[in-house]
Amino acid sequence: MITIGAMAAPRTAEVEPLGHPEPLTAEGLLDLPQQRLDEVFRAGTSATIPVGRGSGSVIIKPGRQLARVLNTVLTAIFWRGKRFTPATQDLKNLVSPFAVPAIRAKVYKQASWYDGAECVVLDYSKTSFVAGWIRDEIREVSPGLYLGLVYGVGRLFGGRRRIAGFALTFGPGGGRSEG
């Protein structure tokens, strides 16, 4: 069940994954089918832009065992998460097994390409030669847990197309910023 708070209050997602009342986690998101992930994203909030380091989970082929395998492999060898810096309104991805900060994106709020509601945009178009064709959108779906959509942009994608998802998990007290 997804519950949306009062109109004046920020939206929050309360999800019972697969019918079990459990806290929403990055691991749990891997098990949800795409339609459920879309509901969770839709119910999320952009009230806060994250601060500091968020551990990443790659979401490809959600709701299948393959999702867990892909997440394990891709986060071990390629992408470890993101580090947000509010002072410069940007982030750097943490890549390689050593979590090297690289691949910068500008961070701001804007209407989502997914549903038109506000989201936090991670825009690589003017900051990265490597990932300039990527736009990420995130919303907080549980305290310290952000669900992200990855869009490919350009001729290769027929304009723009959603190509993957991800989650970012921030430790206690982390991931909070007004903005």
The 10s digit of each residue's pLDDT in 3-31 is 333 333 334 444 444 444 568 999 999 99
Model confidence over 45-59: pLDDT tens digits? 999 999 999 999 999
Alpha-carbon distance 71 to 51, whole Å?
23
Sequence-distant (≥ 6) Cβ neighbours of residue 41 within 8 angstroms: 114, 139, 141, 147, 149
Mapped onto helix, strand or coil, the DSSP state of residue 46 is coil
Q: Tens-digit pLDDT profile for the chain (179 aa)?
A: 333 333 333 344 444 444 445 689 999 999 999 999 999 999 999 999 999 999 999 999 999 999 999 999 999 999 999 999 999 999 999 999 999 999 999 999 999 999 999 999 999 999 999 999 999 999 999 999 999 999 999 988 888 999 999 999 998 755 554 44
What is the spatial distance between Cα 113 and Cα 119, in angstroms, rounded to a whole number? 9
Fill in the amino acid letter for 3. T
